[in-house]
């Protein structure tokens, strides 16, 4: 049970490695440029819908990127308290930059 934090945009080699490493019981949190994976009607957002684990993104990061109103339903928007809850639920964290 690993919490993967993804800070790379779609198409980046680390993004691909992260998405391939996900397993049931893991969680994916999109941060920084990673929030662009959840843009509505994008190929990247379509891929999120088929991952073996839940996908979340930090509301403040999406707001800062100016994409909060354009997100697909493939990711659940969470706040800082939700981020803390994810870290409590997942004993390991792996950051992808």
Burial of 48: CB neighbours in 10 Å, binned 0-12, 13-18, 19+: buried
Q: What are the structural domains of the chain?
A: 2-96 (3.40.1260.10)
The predicted structure's pLDDT at residue 2: 98
The predicted structure's pLDDT at residue 67: 96
pLDDT at 17 over 90: yes
The predicted structure's pLDDT at residue 41: 85
Q: What is the pLDDT of residues 62-96, one digit of tens each?
A: 999 999 999 999 899 999 999 999 999 999 999 99
d(CA 76, CA 85): 14
HEC string of 24-77 equals CCCEEEECHHHHHHHECCCHHHHHHCCCCCCEEEEHHHHHHHCCHHHECCCCEE
Q: What is the pLDDT of residues 24-72, one digit of tens each?
A: 999 999 999 999 999 998 999 999 999 999 999 999 999 999 999 999 9
């Amino acid at each position: 049970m690993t919490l993967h934090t993804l800070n790379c945009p779609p198409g980046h080699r680390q993004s691909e490695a992260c998405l391939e490493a996900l397993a049931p019981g893991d969680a994916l949190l999109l941060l920084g440029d990673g929030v662009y994976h959840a843009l509505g009607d994008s190929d990247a957002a379509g891929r999120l819908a088929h991952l073996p684990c839940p996908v979340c993104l930090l509301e403040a990061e999406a707001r800062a990127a100016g994409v909060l109103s354009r997100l697909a339903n493939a990711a659940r928007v969470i706040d800082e308290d939700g981020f803390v809850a994810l870290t409590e639920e997942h004993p390991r964290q792996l950051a992808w930059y």
